[in-house]
Amino acid sequence: NAGVMQNPRHLVRRRGQEARLRCSPMKGHSHVYWYRQLPEEGLKFMVYLQKENIIDESGMPKERFSAEFPKEGPSILRIQQVVRGDSAAYFCASSPPRGPGREQYFGPGTRLTVT
């Protein structure tokens, strides 16, 4: 059973460009979470999605950031018009739809560098 997959692992964008980060959850998991980690800091929640639904986006900046988890295919985190402050590691986690704990399992992350 493959774990959570994220691609690309590293992404370099110039200021003003768009960044697209992809996340494929573990098999059987229908819940996806996105977190951002700045250097030397803990992870900060951004958004929680189920298939075709955004459940909680309270951690997502109001502008330039969007996320989706379509019926088919991976979850996408999109950052438009990137700025240097967007440089960070972005982690995706997935959890199963049922179970007492619904533990979140993390992918390897995408490291975004904005030049």
Partner 1 sequence: GESVGLHLPTLSVQEGDNSIINCAYSNSASDYFIWYKQESGKGPQFIIDIRSNMDKRQGQRVTVLLNKTVKHLSLQIAATQPGDSAVYFCAERETSGSRLTFGEGTQLTVNP
Strand partners, 79: 19, 65
Among 50, 79, 74, 86, residue whose Cα is nearest residue 64: 79
Q: Does 39 bind partner 1 (CB under 8 A)?
A: no
User: Which one, 35 or 65, has the nearer CB to partner 1?
Assistant: 35
Query: Which 2-21 residues touch partner 1, going by CB under 8 A?
Result: 4, 6
Among the residue ranges 12-20, 62-70, 76-84, 95-103, the one whose residues contact partner 1 (CB under 8 A):
95-103
* Tokens 């573990």 -> residue: 26
Count Cα neighbours of 61 within 13 Å in the Cβ-side half-sphere.
13
Shortest distance in whole angstroms from residue 102 CB to partner 1 = 5
